[in-house]
Structures are given as C-alpha cells and as structure tokens.
Structure 1
Amino acid sequence: MADDFAQRYERHLNADPQLLADVRRAVGARLRRWGREELITAAAMCVTELLSNVHKHAASPECVLTLENRPRGIRAAVRDTDAGLPVLREPDFCSESGRGLFLLSKTAHAWGTAVDPSGKTVWFVLHAETLRP
C-alpha cells in the first residue's frame, strides 16, 4: 500500500526471496519519485538484507516495509512478528552467509531495532548528499 501523501511509503508483504527483485524495484521507484536517486543502490541492498533476515529467521514471512523521506535522507524499516533480534557479527568471508547485517551496518548512517509485544522493527537511515526542506 503506497501512501500518496508524499513522504511515506508502506507495503505489507511476505519476505519471499522470489519477490525481492520486485521489492527492490519498488524501493527504487519510490526513491526516484522523492528525488533520492543517489540512495537507491544502498537502500535496495539494505532492504534486501532486512527482508532476507525475516525469511531466514522469523517464524512468519509476513512483514511491513516502510520508507520515509526525510530532510537529510531516508529512513527504512521492516517490521515482523518475531521478537528475536538480529545479531551483528564480524563476517567470515569464507562463509556463504552472515555478511548482510555487517554490510548494512557499514552502509547505513544509523540502524537499530525496536521490540514491542507484537514483534520487532529493524530500521536504518541513509543520508543524502543534498538536503531537502
């Protein structure tokens, strides 16, 4: 569901790996609409990581992706129904997995988690080179 009141986008989805390309396209389209083209690659990678973590670790693939356009850049969040928090660890570059959250932490200007009785939200912030009013 897109909020056409401009600065917020929300989409309910299942974190299915086969849908990730479609989600990346939607993120890119929204960021283009907001004039945030310089953030598309980083945002798509970070959103993909959060959705992959829901797919791999949450009890249910159902989640909500939220994007917000802010004066300094964007904030993105993925909310799911599992209270288990992601674990940032030093990557083993010989392993086939385990690097995503590390890459997100090095790409985003800030990131974090919030837990509530119905699950958790994992979010990140990307700053743009050009500030918007």
Structure 2
Amino acid sequence: MSLDAAPHALAVVRRIVRAQLRAWEVEDLARPAAMGVTELLSNVHKHAKSPECVLTLRRIADGIRVSVSDKEPELPVVREPDFLSESGRGMFLLSKTAHAWGAIPAPEGAPGKEVWFVLKSEVDG
C-alpha cells in the first residue's frame, strides 16, 4: 500500500492491518503488528524528507513480515532508551517485540531504504 506517513492516517492504517491479519487468521499478531506499523510510519513522518512510503504485509509460513520502504537513506538505530524522554523508545520496543527486524538500503541507484520486522504466530506453533 502506497501512502503518506501522516499521523492522522495511522488509525486507518492500523484498521487495514488488523483486517488483513483477521483474513489470514493470525489475529493474535494484531496488537504487536499495529505497534510496529505505527512505529515505522511515525519514523518516516519524523525523519524522512518525504512522507511518501510503501507499507507491505506478507504472510509467511509461521507469521507475518511487515516492511515500510521510504526515500530516506539513513538506516534506523536502536538506542537504549531514556525512559524520561518523550520519544526515542519506538525502535527499542520494536526490537524487543518482533522475532526479527532489520533495515536494508534500497537497490543501488534508488533512494531510500526498507525497514522490516517479522512476527511469529502462536497459532502456527
């Protein structure tokens, strides 16, 4: 799904994600998926020069893979959060929630990156 990562769009995107997970019968992943999608889209809004991005959900054998591609080349960094700060905890929380996550630069010649995470379903074992 191509979209602009604007704060007012996040609730709609979370509903779309939940609906897709329901269709795939992995509703147990709805809460962590919504948190992860919100974090990735919020980072695009806060850190990328352009809010344009692509959100991709994929059903994999034991769960889901979620990715957000944007035009900003800088890769995210997980830092130990300052819990008194109003921001800076999102990628740390995602790194502790997801079974795996990563960021890869766009193919050579293309601007941007892809940030992804994997959640495994307890229903699938």
**TM norm structure 2:** 0.95
Q: Does 1:94 align with 2:89?
A: no
**Partner in structure 1 of residue 7 of structure 2:** 17
| Counterpart for residue 60 of structure 1 | 50
Correspondent of 2:99 among 109, 124, 129: 109
State the distance in 1 between where 2:4 and 2:118 align: 22
Distance in 2 between residues matched to 1:35 and 1:70, nearest whole Å: 12
The yes-or-no answer on 1:121 pairing with 2:114 is: yes
Q: Compute the TM-score of the two structures, normalised by the length of structure 1.
A: 0.90
Q: Which residue is 1:6 aligned to?
A: none
Once the two structures are superposed, the pairs formed by residues 2-41 of structure 1 within 5 Å of their partners are 11-41=1-31
CA distance in 1, matches of 2:23, 2:101: 24
Gaps of 5+ in 2: none
Q: How many residues align?
A: 122
Q: Which runs of 5+ in 1 are unaligned?
A: 1-10
* Percent identity for Structure 1 against Structure 2: 62
CA distances 1:49-98 after superposition (whole Å, capped 9, x unpaired): 00000000001000000000111000000000110111110000000000
Query: What CA distance in whole angstroms lies between the structure 2 residues aligned with 1:130 and 1:30?
Result: 16
1:8 corresponding residue in structure 2: none
Q: Give the 4+ runs in structure 1 shifted more than 4 A.
A: none
The 3-state SS of whatever aligns with 2:123 is coil
Distance in 1 between residues matched to 2:55 and 2:69, nearest whole Å: 7
Displacement after TM superposition at 1:31 (Å): 0.3
